Amino acid sequence: MHEYSVVSELVALLLPRVGGIDGRVVSVHLRKGELRILSDASLVAAFEIVTSGTPLEGATLEIETVTTSVRCGACGYAGLAKHLEDESFHFAIPILACPRCGAEVEVTSGRELSIESVRVASLDPDESQDASGEEGGCRSSGAA
Amino acid sequence: MHDIRFTAEDILGAQLALAEENYRLLKEKGVHAISVMGAIGSGKTSLIERIIDRAKPCGIVVATIAADSAGDDDHRRFLARGAHSVNLNTEDDCHLDAHRISHTLESLPLHEIDVLFVENVGNLICPADFPLGTDVEMIVISVTEGDDMVRKHPKIFAQTDLIVINKIDLASAVGVDPQTLVRDYAKVNPHGRAILTDARHNRGIDELLRALGIECTNTQW
């Protein structure tokens, strides 16, 4: 159920950033760590509802799942976490212990929940857009 | 068509920052804080009551934040035991968050408190994504929920410091082997610790206190 509150935060962050652009947002690329307990289907459904009537209406939410990585203070391992492949759990579960020596680890990725980018379609198909200089920390990657 | 890229700004970054602020404030005031999660009826409130009873003769001051979507049943139970308590109704929200906790901390006499229990709403999915700023996160399971509880919620168990398997006096009556839960938890969380309790009859409480880092030096305890 908390997907709605998460999407509300996402949209609140996005709206001031896309308000001034000359174009229509067609998709939003979200990076979601696999340790997050958020349903992709519910995030997409919530996005459709929360963006209704806003400049983001009609945009699609694309979700990229980020695999868990860990760093071990005991043996120095840094890399992907081991996953439990036990049929009774149905899904691969990331294990927060060192895959090499078994010690406790620090999670270096897998808890992300960040907007990677938005894709914008020009309102005038002949006009090439450059969004560099957008306020709020955005930078343009140029025409896609 | 073009892409606008964003710096990696976490959507829940504001909540994380507030959780860190809560943690710093609690450390500064010398408060050991424990987040308690678990389904409705698992025995979260009863376990905290037993701990309040054990801690009081030792001079350990316990406070609680009693969160429920509605009502103040748990809050009144804690007050009746002589604990500081704040009732926190989340209304339609399925989880506590660091923002609510930061405001609630303002109404507790933190300088007098040794241990704070934050009892979350009875939900094992949503609270996982909202750190509160506590030292320890624990989940209470009742054997009456079945021996498949860990298999049904593996991600939250994989990230939780310890679990309490409560109502073990009822295990045979409901045909549940608590060791199945212990084994499943060990699979998803090799560093987690599982404690077996029967809160109603005061069994396993001392071991739980030690696991939570609540030390009583009073020999009368």
Q: Answer yes or no: is pLDDT of A127 > 60.
A: no
Gap between the Cα atoms of B88 and B94, Å rounded: 13
Note down the domain range covering B158. Answer: 13-211
pLDDT in tens, B125-151: 777 778 899 999 999 999 999 999 999
pLDDT for B130 equals 84
Are A60 and A117 in the same domain? Answer: yes
Residue B2 domain-assigned (yes or no): no
The answer for residues whose C-beta is within 8 angstroms of residue A50's C-beta and 6 or more apart is A4, A7, A8, A11
Q: Decide if B11 and A117 are in contact by the 8 Å CB cutoff.
A: no
* B positions 182-201 inside 8 Å of A (CB): 184, 187-191
Q: Decide if A9 and B12 are in contact by the 8 Å CB cutoff.
A: yes
Q: Answer yes or no: is pLDDT of B10 > 90.
A: no
Residue B5 domain-assigned (yes or no): no
Confidence of residue B11 (pLDDT cuts 50, 70, 90): confident
Q: Looking at this protein, which amino acid is placed at residue B50?
A: R
CA nearest to B10 within chain A: A114
pLDDT in tens, B167-211: 999 999 999 999 999 999 999 999 999 999 999 999 999 999 999
Are A105 and A116 in the same domain? Answer: no
| Cβ–Cβ < 8 Å for B162, B204 | no
Q: Answer yes or no: is pLDDT of A126 > 90.
A: no
Residue B6 domain-assigned (yes or no): no
Domain count for chain A: 2
Instruction: Judge whether B107 is closer than 8 Å to chain A, CB to CB.
Output: no
Strand duo A78-80 + A69-72: pairing: antiparallel
Q: How far apart are the first and last CA of chain B?
A: 71
Are A15 and A85 in the same domain? Answer: no
Are A114 and A101 in the same domain? Answer: no
Note down the domain range covering A82. Answer: 68-109
How far away is chain B from the Cα of A134, in angstroms, using its nearest Cα? Answer: 9
Mean pLDDT of chain B: 90
Q: Decide if A31 and B8 are in contact by the 8 Å CB cutoff.
A: yes
Are A59 and A114 in the same domain? Answer: yes
Q: Answer yes or no: is pLDDT of B220 > 70.
A: no
Domain count for chain B: 1
Confidence of residue B54 (pLDDT cuts 50, 70, 90): very high
Query: Which of A3, A4, A5 would you mutate first to test chain B, the one with the most B CBs within 10 A?
Result: A5
CA nearest to B187 within chain A: A84
Residue B106 domain-assigned (yes or no): yes
Range B152-171 average pLDDT? 94
* Residue A10, H or E segment: helix A3-18
Are A116 and A97 in the same domain? Answer: no
How far away is chain B from the Cα of A11, in angstroms, using its nearest Cα? Answer: 9
Q: Decide if B159 and A35 are in contact by the 8 Å CB cutoff.
A: yes
Are A124 and A87 in the same domain? Answer: no
CA nearest to B160 within chain A: A96
Which residues in chain A are closer than 8 Å to B93, comparing Cβ atoms? 5
pLDDT for B8 equals 64
Are A41 and A87 in the same domain? Answer: no
Query: In CATH, what number is assigned to the domain containing residue B94?
Result: 3.40.50.300
User: What does chain B look like in DSSP terms, one character per residue?
Assistant: -EEEE----BTTHHHHHHHHHHHHHHHHTT-EEEEEEE-TTSSHHHHHHHHHHHHGGGT--EEEEEEESS--HHHHHHHHTT-EEEEEE-TT-SS--HHHHHHHHTTS-GGG-SEEEEE--S-SSGGGG---S-SEEEEEEEGGG-TTHHHHSHHHHHT-SEEEEE-GGGTTTTT--HHHHHHHHHHH-TT-EEEE-BGGGTBSHHHHHHHTT-----TT-
* B positions 21-80 inside 8 Å of A (CB): none
Residue count (chain B) = 221
Range A42-52 average pLDDT? 95
Q: Decide if A141 and B1 are in contact by the 8 Å CB cutoff.
A: no
Complex-level ipTM beyond the 0.90 threshold = no
Q: Decide if B3 and A91 are in contact by the 8 Å CB cutoff.
A: no
Are A36 and A46 in the same domain? Answer: yes
Range B102-129 average pLDDT? 89
pLDDT for A132 equals 37
Q: How far apart are the first and last CA of chain A?
A: 35
pLDDT for A18 equals 84
